[in-house]
Structure 1
Amino acid sequence: MKLTQLFFIAAVIAIAPACKNGGPFKKKFDKSNATGWNYNDKNSGGFNVAKAKDIKAGPGLVFVQGGTFVMGAAEEDVMADWNNVPKRVTVNSFFIDKTEVANIHYREYLFWLNRIFDPAGDPANQPIVDAAYPDTLVWRSELAYNEPYVEYYFRHPSFNYYPVVGVSWKQAHDYCLWRTDRVNELALINGGYINKNEMKNMQGKGADAFNTKAYLLGLTTPPPGTAAKSKKNPLTDPNGRPRTQVTFEDGIMSPDYRLPTEAEWEYAALAYIAQNPQPRRKEKGQRGEELVANKQVYSWSNNYNGLRDNRRGSWQGEMLANFKRGSGDLMGVAGGLNDRSALPAPVESYYPNGFGIFNMSGNVSEWVADVYRPMTYEVGDDFNYYRGNVFKKLKVIDPTSNDPSTRYEKDSTGKVKYVNEEDADLAKRRNYQKNYAINYLDGDSLSGASYGYGITTLVSDKSRVIKGGSWLDMPYWLGPGTRRFLEEDQSTSTIGFRCAMTYFGAPEGNRTRAGNYWQTKRQRR
């Protein structure tokens, strides 16, 4: 036997007792700086903790770093609406779609509904599917020949990547819920926590379809994948065995897709990051200077004069959005078209703004989450401003049961049921005392104001805010500060939508420290 082989055998024999007794190869655990107990250690309680990490942008989303800006009018209020009084507000960091939701994205949603709920197999599911279809009749007009668009705009492949229109606020809201479930389901399949063959067996099983909240509650238990059963699974139970059920604390699933709030949408449209100087600072990297005083008018601006520059010179004079230039002028003349689109344009047309977001001015107006009120700015919060809250809680069938299937309830579409919180249970709270906050300080007993819908006004608790101009609008409506409204169950050929997602952790990312830190230099004793 060679000398090197003898040396190796001797080394293994010497190391073996050390390993057995937890010697130099003993696994190191993170410790709680509150109790001193180990994390992820079956011999120390088994508390499983995922390492802090940044939330990844979901499919189609871009990161928008939050900040402070002046929300509201940037031009003279030519419509005399007086509904966008400037107010300084702050929004936290969030994600938003790079483009408007396109026809092909929405058709993917309809395909899934038809497959999973299968109206042919169960006619009772037909209303569920029908409720999701956009209203293609929005293209009709008594004095225009738009009938071809009724038939082809949503369906023909030439319009695949054009923004979907004819979608109500309710339909856009439901699309966001569906998108959340599909993204999270795929994340669990790719991670091996759900059997990849599960989707092949879901034809006509709508009530059992994957739903994020139902899964987290244990109401939905799809077959686990191979990785979940493997000893290499990083998720463990208190006894150190592989855990097949993923929790939100594991950091694998994404937060909910949703409609952006009005404040988020307007902040993302202005994209002040494009015009903020970023001087280098030795201690803290980059710092953006506040330029909210130089409020720009349109979302494509790189400076407050509204000019867009490139390496070869100014883009001044070019059409940077899809809008109506003047009466009867929707695209210019043959051989010299201005915005090159008579109808909505493809979702990646024109130049993106400073955040890399397309068509925040023009193309189609967009639904946002907020309920419309003309004077909300005066009473709204200056952080994450939003009107539209109705506070809910899980509907509990049997409070004494530990079995999720008997404690909670799902509806016919597989979603978990929620109910409004009881005002009687909120009486002693300091931050809110009513579950219904849509008309808070505007149309309720506290404000002394009321809205006589259909009598003195068209504003109701179902009126939702619309932001951004459209292909059929004059330039005034392209300003991010302008706002209009429509009832949440109505739709037009000029309104589309895009989704957003909340970002958690430090505004600049969890890899950078939040706050300003003083680096102390102390000598060890």
Structure 2
Amino acid sequence: MMKFKALLFLGLAVMVTGCGLLGKGGKGGKKTSSTTGWEYNNPDNGGFQADGDYNQLTGPGLTFIEGGTFTMGRVEQDVMYDWNNMPRRVTVASFYMDETEVSNLDYREYIFWLQRVYPQNPEKLEAALPDTLVWRKELAYNEPYIENYFRHPAYSNYPVVGVSWLQADAYCKWRTDRVNEKILVDRGVIQHDASQGGQNVFTTDTYLAGLFQGTDGDKPYEDASGNPRRLQWEDGVLLPSYRLPTEAEWEYAAYGLIGNTDGELLTERKLYPWSGSYLRDDSKKNRGQMMANFVRGRGDMMGMAGSLNDNADITAPVNSYNPNDYGLYCMAGNVNEWVADVYRPLNQEDVEEFQPFRGNIFTQYRRDDDGNLLRNEFGELIQDTIADYRNFRDGDYRSQIIEGQSWEDQKDQLSTQDMYIKEDEAGQFSSLISDNVRVYKGGSWKDRPYWLIPGTRRYLEEDQATNDLGFRCAMTRVGSPQGL
């Protein structure tokens, strides 16, 4: 019996050692390289840092979207006869997305920050302000919305509108920097500096490049070996960038097919972000209530008094109606939403099966003759384009950079303007499809139900805005697609 116990103990010890639970340390402890035998995170042998237990934190406002394969594109009759969303099977990697559309309150925080940090640069603020005149109509009394919709607290929780694609993209970049700044402040790595301004403004890029100068209260980051140093991207402390979702990501998240599967079997393909083909809730508790904010019929924006069908004359609060199976609100109706993609009618014939996206512009940081990184007057690193794939397979070769010439030297001779007929004369055809036209999806408070289908798509020039077009942010998931 004693011999059996001894053998059992020896076997367990071998199993534990083989699994790496002995001799390599637990989470945050010293671990041994399987390549060299040297210990990681040990200052006595150089302090090479290794952390195999990293799990990405969920950024503020985001929810996790587990990726997978789905059929992207048309699920309903193409009533517009655009033939621009033919069905095709694609795979989307796991990512994060805002639970709600960006609200007026969210965007006002952005505007307030710009006013505080750049008081001497009114052009910075002017470029970010929403266009409140999108509410003005020649034959409608919408002046109260011009005055109140964006700034009045009554509309704080309503989706921001009048924002162009360019403004939405800039907001995502600003949000990235504020979230990462808060992470460093909470960890005591830097002190909050309300007086920062000019070129010394915290951005994630300038901090990682060692250009951001904090205050006297800043403390060095201590790595797993206890070495004080400047925090690096490899430490896994900072979050990836907030950004606009790709069209594939947005459509995948909107359907929320995770609630309609049995293993790998899709039991019911959705028409809308909810199951079934009805626009009213068929549950016993909420039977008859509208599932989204849209136009029910000509001149019917919200129903009869005493029984408002969607309780919204224009937009509704961003957390209205039932969320889909990913926990996302208003993925149909309320406001349309910008996505990252450049529009082409036949994108499905060009894009990849994994992570499809059209709009890649590859850049590199600009440096002076001594190799130092250069910043603009707002403290942001300057980036130069080295390749542009928005026009891939369009008969234009701007994606090819001629060796020895800069992008600036080539951009005129490689222009795409001749590809599109753009005449101001009456009767001349003018194509809206260019490198500066972006996709938007989702339907809105003034759209018919057809546009609530996630597979439908429309487009608008990236510097334009409307009173029914907003956005939400996304973030890349790094590491395991399921989480640890």
- How far 1:440 sits from its partner (Å)? 0.2
Structure 2: distance between partners of 1:226 and 1:394: 27
Task: Note if contact 1:235-1:242 (Cα within 8 Å) is conserved in structure 2.
Answer: no
Q: Is the 8 A contact 2:281 2:290 kept in 1?
A: no
Contact 2:30/2:42 (<8 A) preserved: yes
Q: How does 1:327-346 map to 2 (within 5 A)?
A: 327-346=298-317
Residue 474 of structure 1 and its aligned partner are, at CA, apart by 0.4
Q: Secondary structure at the match of 1:183?
A: helix
d(CA) in 2 for partners of 1:294, 1:268: 16
Aligned mates of 1:308, 1:52 — CA distance in 2: 43
Map of 1:507 onto structure 2: 481
CA apart distance, 1:60: 0.3
User: 1:218 & 1:133 partners in 2: Cα distance?
Assistant: 31
Shifted more, 35-44 versus 360-369: the winner is: 35-44
Q: Label 1:41 to 1:482 Cα distance change in 2 as closer, same or farther (>3 A).
A: same
Gaps of 5+ in 2: 1-24, 400-415, 424-428
| Distance in structure 2 (CA, Å) of the matches to 1:437 and 1:354 | 34
Shift of 1:228: 3.7
**2:260 is equivalent to residue 275 of structure 1:** yes
Alpha carbons of structure 1 residues 222 and 309: separation in structure 2 relative to 1, 3 Å: farther
| Residue number in structure 2 paired with 1:167 | 163
Give the match for residue 517 of structure 1: none
Residue 300 of structure 1: CA displacement? 2.3
One-letter amino acid of the counterpart of residue 257, structure 1: Y
Q: Offset of 1:318 from its aligned partner? A: 2.4
Summarize the alignment of residues 145-156 of structure 1 with structure 2, pairs less than 5 Å apart.
145-156=141-152
**Which residue of 2 is the match for residue 110 of structure 1?**
111
Tell me the secondary structure at the aligned position of residue 464 of structure 1. strand
TM-score, with structure 1 as normaliser: 0.79
Residue by residue, what CA displacement relative to the aligned partner does 1:191-250 show, whole Å, maximum 9, x if unpaired?
A: 000023x23x32xx1321100011101111323756647xxx4455xxx5322x111111
Asked if the contact 2:280/2:290 (under 8 Å) is kept, the reply is no
Matched, 1:242 2:228: yes
Output the aligned Cα RMSD: 2.3
1:94–1:502 Cα contact (<8 Å) kept: yes
Contact 2:62/2:97 (8 A) holds in 1: yes
SS in structure 1 at match of 2:265: coil
1:411-433 per-position Cα deviation (integer Å, ceiling 9, x unaligned): 11111111122xxxxxxxxxxxx
**1:108-151 Cα distance to aligned partner (Å, 9 max, x none):** 00000000011xxx3xx111111100000000000100000000
Of the candidates 84, 107, 129, which is equivalent to residue 125 of structure 2? 129
Matched, 1:408 2:373: yes
Q: Is the 8 A contact 1:376 1:442 kept in 2?
A: no
1:481 matched to which residue of 2?
455
Structure 1 counterpart of 2:236, from 251, 262, 273: 251
Counterpart in the other structure of 2:326: 355
Cα distance 1:184–1:443, how it changes in 2: closer, same or farther (>3 A)? same
How far residue 489 of structure 1 moved from its aligned partner, in angstroms, is 0.4
1:223 and 2:224 equivalent? no
Comparing 215-224 with 155-164, which one deviates more in the overlay? 215-224
CA displacement, residues 379-423 of structure 1 (integer Å, 9 cap, x when unaligned)? 21111100001111111223x55xxxxx101111111111122xx
Once the two structures are TM-superposed, the CA of residue 45 in structure 1 deviates from its matched residue by 2.1
Displaced runs of 4 or more, over 6 A:
304-307, 446-449
Q: Which has the larger radius of gyration?
A: 1
2:432 corresponds to: 458
8 A Cα contact 1:297 1:306, kept in partner: no
For 1:487 and 1:139, how far apart are their aligned partners in 2? 18
Amino acid at match of 1:267: Y
- What secondary structure, in the 3-state scheme, does the structure 1 residue paired with 2:348 have? helix
1:201-220 matches, cutoff 5 A: 201-202=195-196, 205-220=197-212
Partner of 1:183: 179
How far off its partner does 1:479 sit?
0.2
The percentage of aligned residue pairs carrying the same residue is 50
Segments of structure 1 that go 5 or more residues without pairing to the other structure are 1-24, 278-287, 402-406, 422-434, 512-525
What secondary structure does 2:319 align onto?
A: coil
CA displacement, residues 336-371 of structure 1 (integer Å, 9 cap, x when unaligned): 110110110000000000000000000000000000
User: Is the CA contact (8 Å cut-off) linking 1:443 and 1:451 kept in structure 2?
Assistant: no
